[in-house]
A and B are shown apart, each in its own frame.
Chain A
Amino acid sequence: EPEVTQTPSHQVTQMGQEVILRCVPISNHLYFYWYRQILGQKVEFLVSFYNNEISEKSEIFDDQFSVERPDGSNFTLKIRSTKLEDSAMYFCASSATKSTDTQYFGPGTRLTVL
């Protein structure tokens, strides 16, 4: 069964450093998303991406964040200068043909900012 994959599973970084979280969405999907989940809290939407551009973003997704689809398979989230409060699980998701299709989530990357 096709699934969303994410790497790395755990990323530890120093405050102020840049990190890139990587995702491979399900191959025939067209909509891509990043969510995050701070420990013990609910999953929060960050950004959606379609047709090589951001289609929606939340107030969390400030200038420190960017997304890219550098090739036909990868979808990345970059945090330019990490802060302690960026520590969270980051989930990538994808959906098939329109935004109301089921969003399938990857296993997540745990980001720890020291």
Chain B
Amino acid sequence: GESVGLHLPTLSVQEGDNSIINCAYSNSASDYFIWYKQESGKGPQFIIDIRSNMDKRQGQRVTVLLNKTVKHLSLQIAATQPGDSAVYFCAEHFGNEKLTFGTGTRLTIIP
């Protein structure tokens, strides 16, 4: 069945350090993956995406890695800042139009 899940529900990182948030997915037919950031009381905010024909994509301070062999997706945030504290969701898209979201990881940046 369709399933997008996260390895860790919470993650605490010292300000300035790098953080890695992981996500497992089960549908090998997924063609598109997205990381969203959700701050308290707000809607999901797009961070970065990656198509299934890629294994790495970089943005500003963020990198997404896709390992299709083990169906694993990760989000790396470099030099974390207090504003990075939020819940991070991975989402996958496969063939139809909806996104299937994971349960989320709460990232806390420790000053």
- Residues of chain A touching chain B, judged by Cβ–Cβ distance below 8 Å, are 4, 31, 33, 35, 41-45, 48, 50, 55-56, 58, 91, 99-100, 102-108
Please determine whether B97 and A43 come into contact, CB atoms closer than 8 angstroms: no
Name the one of A41, A44, A107 contacting B43, with C-beta atoms under 8 angstroms.
A107
Name the one of A41, A55, A105 contacting B97, with C-beta atoms under 8 angstroms.
A55
Query: CA A55 – CA B68 in complex, angstroms?
Result: 28
Please determine whether A41 and B44 come into contact, CB atoms closer than 8 angstroms: no
Please determine whether A108 and B42 come into contact, CB atoms closer than 8 angstroms: yes
Interface string of B32-61 (1 = CB under 8 A from A): 101010000111111001000000000000
CB pairs A–B below 8 angstroms (14 shown): A4-B43, A33-B98, A42-B89, A43-B91, A43-B99, A48-B98, A56-B97, A91-B43, A100-B32, A103-B46, A105-B43, A105-B46, A107-B42, A108-B42
Query: CA A107 – CA B44 in complex, angstroms?
Result: 8
| Contacts A42-B89, A91-B43 given; does A102 touch B97 at CB 8 Å | no
Query: CA A107 – CA B98 in complex, angstroms?
Result: 19
Q: Which residues of B contact A104 (CB under 8 A)?
A: 46
Does B100 sit at the interface, judged by CB under 8 A? yes
Please determine whether A99 and B97 come into contact, CB atoms closer than 8 angstroms: yes
CB-CB nearest in chain B for A58: B98
Q: A33-B98, A56-B97 are in contact. List 17 more A-B contacts (CB 8 A).
A: A41-B103, A42-B101, A42-B102, A42-B104, A43-B89, A43-B91, A43-B99, A45-B99, A45-B100, A99-B97, A100-B32, A100-B93, A103-B34, A105-B36, A105-B45, A107-B41, A107-B43
Q: Which residues of B contact A41 (CB under 8 A)?
A: 103
CB-CB nearest in chain A for B104: A42
Query: CA A7 – CA B27 in complex, angstroms?
Result: 35
CB-CB nearest in chain B for A106: B43
Q: Which residues of B contact A50 (CB under 8 A)?
A: 97
A10 → chain B, closest Cβ, in Å?
10
Does B69 sit at the interface, judged by CB under 8 A? no
Please determine whether A42 and B103 come into contact, CB atoms closer than 8 angstroms: yes
